[in-house]
Amino acid sequence: MRTLIKLHDKYFKPYLKEEQILAAIDKMAKEIAADYKDETPLFVGVLNGAFMFVSDFLKAYQHPCEVSFVRLSSYQGLTSTGIVETLLDVPDELEGKSVIILEDVVDTGRTLKQLVHLFSNKNVKEFKIGTLFYKSDIYNGEYAIDYVGLEIPDHFIVGYGLDYNELGRNLREVYQLNQTDMINLVLFGKPGAGKGTQAGFLKEKYNLKHISTGDVFRFNIKNGTELGTLAKSYIDKGELVPDEVTIDMLKDEVEKNPDAAGFIFDGFPRTAAQAQALDNFLESKDMKVNATIALEAEDDILVERLLERGKSSGRSDDQDESKIRNRFDEYNEKTAPLKAYYEAQGKFHSVNGIGDIQDITERLSKVIDSL
């Protein structure tokens, strides 16, 4: 099952797997068979949404039956118009038959009202309603729902016959609209500024996914992924990994986390060209960088922190003050054009990174809460 899909201008995240849907259909078929196995019911599928449901239902129903279809429509885009149109009318010769409607989804009940009206003067023996998906929270309750596959909350869903402006019907699984307003942050900071610590707090507080470029590289290389193998081929030759390879790794991380309320990008971008590449990627997902936040601290304080850390970390570059200051110089050189890039967009924020950890988190939170 794919992680995040785009249909027209909207993103949808996984909701129901095919096996869950088929199990619900099998349950419905057995329930209806228990009531009608000794007669020949007429199943009436409601198009367009129920075509996959009806097909799989008939495979599961192991008794004599007849099949027909009606076509109604009340949706435009994400919402119901409130006006139900009959596009394909009911079949003739229904007198004395047991009719069972097979709906893809019952929500407000407007479509059901039209269906009941269509069959009201046909002198059928029985009229029952079955639906694969039932949104009981918003159903008006005017008519009894006799057979239900799955009761679901009031989410806008696509797949397995259901659509968003005609796209998504052919998906074998069901996806729901991803309505999260994402907060995407780029976190800057010199070595020792506490980026990792603060990212840990922020991801919990705001349900953000922390994407550390270093961690992503290590994971892909260690696990021998296609991108990891490609990146390693450059590293082994002493060459820089192309930006597009890094972007593809970040893309995989984003798509693996459809429920995240946003992302913290740590270690990328490092250049203005990379920042533009990140913007282009996020724009393709209808997302954006909301803010870049730099944790600022005086060099002498950070040197002291790193030397203390070096006593336990075992990192040689945390144990030599000259190496530490060289890293600071490199950071300043690389960050200057990035700062200008994001300042031009009005997205650069500087936060005092000195003090109690909780106080620093509160300063960062003020920036995020103001977005």
User: pLDDT by residue (tens digit) across 110-154?
Assistant: 888 888 988 888 999 999 999 999 999 999 889 999 999 999 999
pLDDT band at 310 (very low <50, low <70, confident <90, very high): confident
List C-alpha distances in Å: 41 to 33, 44, 96, 173, 320: 10, 10, 10, 28, 84
Tell me the average pLDDT across 43-65.
96
Q: How far apart are CA 47 and CA 240, in angstroms?
A: 55
Give the other-Cβ count within 10 Å of 371's Cβ: 13
Q: What pLDDT, on the 0 to 100 scale, is given for residue 257?
A: 83
Distance CA 295, CA 189 (A): 5
Structure tokens at 15: 């909701």
Question: 69-78, 227-236, 322-331: which has the minimum mean pLDDT?
Answer: 69-78
**Residue 81 pLDDT:** 43
Amino acid identity for residue 185 in this structure = L
pLDDT of residue 271: 85
| pLDDT > 90: percent of the chain | 57
Q: Can you give the pLDDT at residue 53? A: 98
- What was the pLDDT predicted at 149? 98
pLDDT tens readout for residues 59-73: 999 999 999 999 876
Cβ contact 268:281 at 8 Å: no
Question: Mean per-residue pLDDT for 32-37?
Answer: 97
Question: pLDDT-derived band of residue 312, with 50, 70 and 90 as boundaries?
Answer: confident
For 46, residues 6+ apart whose C-beta sits below 8 A from its C-beta are 69, 70, 71, 72, 101, 102, 103, 104, 111, 115
Report the alpha-carbon distance of residue 363 to residue 353 in Å, rounded. Answer: 9
| Least confident stretch, 32-46, 294-308, 348-362 | 294-308
**Within a 13 Å sphere around the CA of 73, how many CA atoms are in the beta-carbon half?**
11
State the chain's mean pLDDT as an integer: 89
The model's pLDDT over 226-277, given as tens digits with 9 standing for 90+, comes to 999 999 999 999 888 898 999 999 988 988 887 778 999 998 998 888 999 9
Reported residue count of the chain is 371
Task: Return the percentage of the chain with pLDDT > 70, whole number.
Answer: 92
Positions marked catalytic: 195, 270, 309, 315, 327
Q: What is the pLDDT of residue 300?
A: 92
At residue 172, the pLDDT reads: 97
Which CATH number does the domain 5-177 belong to among 3.90.550.10, 3.30.110.30, 3.40.50.2020, 3.90.1170.50?
3.40.50.2020
> pLDDT, tens digit, for every residue of 157-201?
999 999 999 999 999 999 998 766 679 999 988 888 888 899 999
- Asked if residue 83 has pLDDT above 50, the reply is no
- The contacts of residue 117 (CB under 8 Å, 6+ apart) are none
Higher pLDDT, 335 or 236: 236
Whether residue 15 is predicted with pLDDT greater than 90 in this model: the reply is yes
Please determine, looking at this structure, whether the domain spanning 183-369 carries the CATH number 3.40.50.300: yes
Look at residue 98 in the predicted model and tell me its pLDDT: 97
Residue 247, classified by CB atoms within 10 Å of its CB into exposed (0-12), middle (13-18) or buried (19+), is middle
- CB-count exposure of residue 168 (10 Å: 0-12, 13-18, 19+): buried
Domains 5-177 and 183-369 share a fold: yes
8 close to 167: Cβ distance less than 8 angstroms: yes
Helix (H, G, I), strand (E, B) or coil at 10: strand
Asked if pLDDT for residue 103 goes beyond 70, the answer is yes
Highest mean pLDDT pick, 27-41, 100-114, 173-187, 293-307: 27-41
Domain-by-domain residue ranges, the chain? 5-177, 183-369
Q: Which pLDDT score, from 0 to 100, does residue 336 have?
A: 78
SS3 368: helix
Q: Check whether 216 has a pLDDT greater than 50.
A: yes
